[in-house]
Each structure stands twice: as structure tokens, then as C-alpha cells.
Structure 1
């Protein structure tokens, strides 16, 4: 009995020591920043503008993204090398990691938080894992392009009713996967949605999925309330009669903007932001901007749109007023202004400046720089508030 009591006491002691290394606090004002060249992430405190941990060993993060568990404690980081890594942000450590593909391009977490889906270029398809321990739950191969290759999967998002939606770049398809029964995924395939869908987005209410098309003008729209109706083309006359410019970096539709009943989208091959009326999805305006837009993002209250640009104009950020549809501020934060993330209530925006090895924080009311934070070759910024937003 005495020996057993000793073991219990020792176990309690070591558990306390382990937990003492972790933070005891809420996670609502935390986030991670991708250090793309180093294969690491910084865990940050958004309120104090400070780094809390640096977590290494996440592989190739050259095109990394992340989602959060429902309790905001765990970040799931998707690496370009096929790595899926679960990070405990309160302890600053990796809890699980798998390399599930050869070339990956983002992922999503299910509505109930139990499943993590990963989109793969190689081998083409989507793999779905348990969020608890990253064990494989389902393997969904994409359509074969030839005997040696499957279509690249892109634009993967979560949707209501325990669904995932993604597009197939090479074959022009959009698939909806219902994971209500993880042992028997139900797949609805929408064929011939358009040429070369390169990315996708979902409206915050989870109703509409939109795929951008690189091979033709327009976008493919799928109403997830009525998926049986299939996709339809919208904005197919955009750019008609205009010469397209070289595309140095594909726009990211995930960072699209909704303000009121209007959507603001990057124009592919044009130095313009498109303004589209939700409902009939007809264009209502075009806003000329400094360069080729990459991210077009709305401040959470919809009052402003912040836009960054592809090379060679990636030293510039422009702010658009959504009422006047005019550019009200042009900022020059430095080369490699890659990613932006708003505070949940919109008082700040954090911007990664790759070539300066820093994060810059701007006050969205004064449009002035108020803080900076050293980060090694930063790219994506992901705050824990994303845990409660469809499609992020």
C-alpha cells in the first residue's frame, strides 16, 4: 500500500510539473503565425502583441494554413509537404503529426470538430482524419486524369451538416462530401463546373460555395441549400474585351470579403476588385487598384476592404471604403506583404511582411502602424476566433 501511495504521489507530482510548463489562461486572444522558411510557428498573444512560444518541426510551410479545435486549444497546421500537425498552443508543443500526402494545399475542420480534412495535389484527393489523434478516417481519391495521375484537389472548405466541399482543378468538378457517417462518406459530384477551378470559398452562413476559374472568365456557384441543382456560372462576362495581364500569384478566394449584401472579389489577371451583389450575383462595380489583388479582406464590420498584391507590387496595401467604393489609403509596409488577419472585432489588422522578418499591426480607425513583432519570414496569421467561423 505504501509503495502504491508513493507511485500515486509521484505521478501527481510529475503531472503537475508537466502542466506547470503550460499556460493556464483563456485562448480567445491567441493565435499562430507561420514562419514559412524555418518550418515553425509562433504562438502569440493578440492583446499584448507578444510571442508566447515558438514551435519547430512542422516541415515545409511554404503554403501553410491552419484551423482550430472548437475549444481553441489546438491548431491543426497543413504543410505543403503533406504534413498535418496538431499543435497545443497552451503548451507550445506538437502533440501529433502525420505526413499524409506528397503535396498538399490546405484543409478544413468539420462542423462538429471531430474530423480534419486535407486537400492534396499528390496524390490527388482528400484524406480525412480524426481530430483527436490524426488517425485516418476516410481516403477519397480524385478523378483520374490518366493512368498515372489524379486531379489536384483545391478550394477545400467545411460546410454545414457535417460536409466538406472541394474542387478538382484538372477535371473541372466540385464535390460535396457528407461525413455524417464517417464509415460511409456520401459524395455528390458536380461535373463540368468550368475550366480549371483553382480555389474556392464559402459564404459565412455556409450557403454558397464559389470556385474561381483560371481557365475561363467567371466563377462557379453552388447553392448548398439546393445542391441537386448543380453549379452555375456567374460573372462570365467579366473582363470581356479587356486584355488580361500576366498572373504572378493566384488570388486567394478564402480571404474574400462580404460587406452588407455585397461581395468583393479579386479579379484574375486584372488590377481590379470586383463588386458583386449577393442574391443574383451580378456585378455592380469594379474598383481599380494598385496591382493584381491576392487577398481582398473585409474588416469584420464591413466598413473597409483591405487589399494586398502579387509581385512586383507586394510592398503595398490599399484600403477601400465600402460605401464610396474608393481607395482611401495606400500603405507601403515593405516587400513581401503577404497575409492579413483582423482582430475579431476589427480594431486591428496584423500584416506579415516577409522581407522585413516582422509582423506589423495597424489601427483600422486611424490607419496608422501601432506595433511590430519580429517573426522569421512570416506568412499566414491565424487567430483562434477562426474556430467559430464556417469556412476558416
Structure 2
């Protein structure tokens, strides 16, 4: 009888985190000046708490574990920090390099890779313990690190233009050179079907497309002639390619050093249009379940967000949310967009249908906004 009573007690006992906040509505905001994170509740438009002690977050990003419980934060000081959203605390932290620029988590959630400027290369860690798994050197700064299905990662090298695909599904990593993207790749993005790895070039005009479904295929270059008849302006902030928009069978891409958004046919990589915009685009992000993309801009014109209709390629709204708009993040179904206004110390929430502000959340010099829905998207 005692054994039966114990079994019933175990069956009926609530789970360990029954009274904890569910993670599906949560997100993290990077407070770049203070090395901290704000945990936010998307439905309640509220800050739930602050997590401190993450080092230099002046150019930081993060990714989530598949269960949405843990965030892996990549800091500019080379720090890799594992954050527990349920306990609102640091679960583990290592300073793995002198200067890192981003990272990614494998599709099975077992490995975390970090892209390094100093000393270059990528380093791979066990996602549970942050114990080192692999150290892959390169001949320069690595950029554009993304996860690829099959416990793989792709990355590019700034100095050499090389692109690599690393397979970490076996105890010994297999590193495959995919070819040369071009002069000074500055970032890269994986298409939403994980088929194509797009590498943006700073040292020459154009974009290089690598077919990840056929590792033997040579890279294809497009947009090699854009802007050759005009004069480029100084680049005040490099665009972030991991927010290139994929919409209506098109790529929406930032024109580096120009006040334009470029539209490219996804099937044949031909430019179909360009949209004059307020400034130099930084993030171009597709509003889910809609034909619209939202764009923010580099300093000194960074107090504006514009909305473009991907069907007509026309600007349909110009908003002035606040000072120094650094990032935008959409609710998974597109009902809201959260916008960080660094110099106002606020995150602003806009209804995307009315394009009106509906809430504010205080944050100290906020930059990146990351909802846990990213845990289920390849390339993020």
C-alpha cells in the first residue's frame, strides 16, 4: 500500500516548474551599455526582471535552446553566456575569445558555435555544459555564422572571402570549403528553406549565393552592377543580413552605402526594382503573414522606421518611434512589432495593422530584441 501511495503521489505531483512563467511569450532585450538583459512578457507588454553580469554587450546577439528555456548570449568581449529564463539567472559563462561577433545553435540543440574576430575562426561548445567541443581556425575574422540542418554550421572569412560548411554530426568535424564569395564578406544569411546561403560583400559589389543542397555547386553572384553609375556614401553602419526579408518570392536587400532597398527575384537572382528610402538600411524585416517589410536606418538618420509594400515596392508608412532605433522584432504571427529606441531608454510596441504605438517598456540603452519563437527557426 505504501508503494502504491508513493506512486500515486509522484503521478499527481505538479511538475517542478508548474508555477513558473511559460516561455512561449517571453523574450530578451539587450541593454548594451550595462551588460544586462531585460526579460519581457510579450502578451503583458511588461518587463519581468533583469539579468546582469554578461560583460560587453555593445554588439551582442543571442539564440535559444529548442525548449525555449535557455538563451545563449554572444558578447563582444568573447563571452558566451547561458541564461536560464525560468530562474532569471546565468547558468554558465565562458570567455572563449578576445572579440566575438555572433553565434548559432545546432538544429538538435546540442551544440553552440561562436564566430570570432580575435583570434578568428569558430569555436563549438556543448550546449548543456559549455564544455569545448571543437576549435576551427581560419585565416581571418569569421562572419555570417548560421546553423544548417544536420548539426552543421556555415560561415565566411572577411580577409580571404572563403566560405565553409562544417559538419559536427560525428566526433571528428568535417570542414568543407564551398568556394570564394568575393572581397570582404561582411555578413551572411540562410534562406528560410535552408537551401541557399547568401553572403554580402563589402569589398566589391554584389552578393554570392551558395547552394547548401549541393556542396559541389559553384557560388552564383548577383547584384554585381548595382550602384555603379552613382556615388556611394560613407557607410555609417554595416547592414545586418540576418534580417534580410524573404517575401512575395523576393529578396529585399540593403544597398550598402546607398539610400535604397533592392528587390531581387528569388528564382533567378535578377534585380527587379529598387525603393528609395529615408537613409542607409540596417535591418529589413518581413512582417509575418503580410506583404510588408519594415526598415530601420543607420546614424544620423536613425530616428525613423519605414514600411514598404513588397508588391508595389512603394513606401506606405514613415514612422518616428524615437531616438536611435536599433532593432525590431515581430510577434510570431505579426500582430505587433517591438522597436528598441536606444537613446530614449525604451522599447516601443506598435500594432502592425494600425501602425500605432500601443505600449512602452523601459530598458537601459536597448538594442537587440529576441523573442523565444526564434528557437524554432533555422538560421537564427
- TM-score between both structures, scaled by the size of structure 1: 0.92
Count the aligned residue pairs: 366
1:214 maps to 2:202: yes
Between the aligned partners of 1:365 and 1:66, the Cα distance in structure 2 is: 28
The match for 1:90 among 86, 90, 99 is: 86
Residue 154 of structure 1 is matched in structure 2 by: 143
1:131 maps to 2:127: yes
**What CA deviation, in whole Å up to 9, does each residue of 1:107-155 have, x standing for no partner?**
0000111000000000110000000010000000002xxxxxxx00000
Verify the 8 A CA contact 1:31 1:46 in the aligned structure 2: yes
- The equivalences for 1:176-187 within 5 A come to 176-181=165-170, 183-187=171-175
1:70 maps to 2:73: no
Residue 205 of structure 1 and its aligned partner are, at CA, apart by 0.9
1:226 maps to 2:214: yes
Between the aligned partners of 1:206 and 1:302, the Cα distance in structure 2 is: 21
Verify the 8 A CA contact 1:320 1:329 in the aligned structure 2: yes
Residue 376 of structure 2 is matched in structure 1 by: 388
Between the aligned partners of 1:99 and 1:23, the Cα distance in structure 2 is: 33
The match for 2:360 among 363, 372, 378 is: 372
1:298 maps to 2:281: no
Between the aligned partners of 1:62 and 1:35, the Cα distance in structure 2 is: 8
Between the aligned partners of 2:103 and 2:79, the Cα distance in structure 1 is: 11
Change (3 A) 1:23 1:142: farther
- The equivalences for 1:238-253 within 5 A come to 238-253=226-241
Residue 4 of structure 2 is matched in structure 1 by: none
Residue 61 of structure 1 is matched in structure 2 by: 57
The match for 1:342 among 324, 330, 334 is: 330
- The equivalences for 1:262-301 within 5 A come to 262-301=250-289
Verify the 8 A CA contact 1:156 1:200 in the aligned structure 2: yes
1:122 maps to 2:111: no
Residue 159 of structure 2 is matched in structure 1 by: 170
1:324 maps to 2:316: no
**What CA deviation, in whole Å up to 9, does each residue of 1:178-227 have, x standing for no partner?**
1111x211111134320000000000110100010000000111010112
Between the aligned partners of 1:260 and 1:26, the Cα distance in structure 2 is: 34
Aligned alpha-carbon RMSD (Å) = 1.3
Find runs of 4+ consecutive structure 1 residues off by over 2 angstroms: none
- TM-score between both structures, scaled by the size of structure 2: 0.94
Verify the 8 A CA contact 2:252 2:262 in the aligned structure 1: yes
Between the aligned partners of 2:35 and 2:158, the Cα distance in structure 1 is: 27
Between the aligned partners of 1:313 and 1:334, the Cα distance in structure 2 is: 11
**What CA deviation, in whole Å up to 9, does each residue of 1:159-182 have, x standing for no partner?**
11221000000111111001111x
Residue 260 of structure 1 and its aligned partner are, at CA, apart by 2.1
Residue 23 of structure 1 and its aligned partner are, at CA, apart by 5.4
Verify the 8 A CA contact 2:153 2:166 in the aligned structure 1: yes
Residue 283 of structure 1 and its aligned partner are, at CA, apart by 0.6
Where in structure 2 are there 5+ consecutive unaligned residues?
1-13
